[in-house]
Amino acid sequence: MASIQIKATDGSGSFAAYVVEPAGKPAGSVVLIQEVFGVNQAMRDIAAWVADLGFIAICPDLFWRIEPGVDITDKSEAEWKKAFELFGKFDQAKGIEDLKATLAVARTLPGANGKVATMGYCPGGRLAFMMAEQSDADVNISYYGVGLDGLVGDLGKVTKPLLVHIADKDEFFPAEGRAKTVAAAKGHPQIACYNYDADHAFARVGGTHWHGLSATIANGRSAAALAAALG
């Protein structure tokens, strides 16, 4: 476990990224994209899991422009209020810039094999979807991304594998939007959409909507995609 600093490409400063290394190298890298709760214990646990799979995990602090070091949970009303306030202030375009900067660093970390993935959750799932359209990542994985139907106009730009894990009981992503996303992706050779009989954030270990079966199936699909793309 370590924390590194990454320079923002717009010259506005630098931001922290949490890194967990696997036992063996060289290895592919996975850029983990946070939920609205910051780089918290849930994200650190995912990073440990990714490292256990044999990949370098790197999770950047995307809220650094608003408040560096956010680390909260989904356990209280006050934390939820803060999370939504942060998300409301978050500049997604700047977030994509920071993720691209992280991607470049991830390819060149000591022991990295040059291949890199993104894997995001909630708003991070939306950003992973956007990275599939806007970056050169070798594979992108989106967990219960929000508002994905507003991004389907650029699906023609997707040239690398994109996995989309969709919660069929998602309170933050209406059924109409979910259906539109699946329909738009149908037939695309690089995109696979998977639906789960679960609520939003079903793969957040210890979270209020944790659903073990859905999480296990989704995580298995993600692990297989990472292995195929990153070696």
Q: Are 201 and 121 in contact (CB under 8 A)?
A: yes
Which tokens is 101 given? 């900067």
Query: Is 200 one of the catalytic residues?
Result: yes
DSSP at 206: T
Smallest Cα–Cα separation from 30: which of 7, 48, 10, 14? 48
Query: Is 149 one of the catalytic residues?
Result: no
CA torsion sign for 165, 168, 171, 176 is positive
- In a 3-state reduction of DSSP, which class is residue 6? strand
Q: Alpha-carbon distance 90 to 88, whole Å? A: 6
| Active-site choice (170, 199, 209, 211) | 170
| Active-site choice (61, 165, 200, 211) | 200
Q: Are 123 and 88 in contact (CB under 8 A)?
A: no
Instruction: List, by residue number, the catalytic residues.
Output: 170, 200
